Amino acid sequence: MASVLHFFMSPDDERLFFRDLSSLRLELYPEVVPPDWRAPTVDESLIDDLEDSAYYLAAPELGPVQVDKVKRGPNKGKWMVLEVISPVIHYERSMVDPDEGVLRAGRIWAELQVSGDTQKRVQKAPQFERLFKQLSDVITRRARRSKPVGHWILPGAVKLHGEGVELRESGRKGGIVTPYR
């Protein structure tokens, strides 16, 4: 079963988030991995190079990242990360939608317990659960709760909201979210 944390992050908040992650020695993988990819270590300087809306944060000390070749579609020949058996956390960025001028929600999620695996053949290490908890704490320790509940809003996003930028859930018809108090 997946563990998920939804949040709103301004670009400044994201820079601070990556600065906090640099001590964890995580590696960054795109959702669709080119065959010649060399995973960089996550740190603050990496922010300027991010172009995609979602990435994988991998913990190389906890095991190798398992990939499989894409056999059909526009990404044929590239690699996809197998998140169920790999020690990766999916990071979907909170980004300003240029068309609508709203800040869309981001999220982190990881498959911590594989559902339907009654024999426990695929298990994540307890260290991986602690890593996900650490990432969650990095986000929630500075954030405010949202109204309606379910999202964490970091200080830069609260400031953007105060300047008139609307906060919306991700998706085509995302609902409006406001900071609580």
Tell me how far apart the alpha carbons of residues 58 and 41 are, in angstroms, rounded to a whole number. 9
106 phi, psi to nearest 5 deg: -115, 180
> What is the spatial distance between Cα 176 and Cα 168, in angstroms, rounded to a whole number?
5
Q: List per-residue pLDDT tens for the chain, 181 residues long.
A: 678 999 999 999 999 999 999 999 999 999 999 888 899 999 999 999 999 999 999 999 999 999 999 999 998 989 999 988 899 999 999 999 888 889 999 999 998 876 665 556 667 788 999 999 999 999 999 999 999 999 999 999 999 999 999 999 988 788 899 998 7
pLDDT in the model for residue 116: 63
Q: Rounded to an integer, what distance in angstroms lies between the CA atom of residue 143 and that of residue 164?
A: 19
**For strand 32-33 and strand 27-30, is the pairing parallel, antiparallel, or unpaired?**
unpaired
pLDDT at residue 162 in the model: 94
pTM of the model: 0.91
Per-residue pLDDT, 62: 92
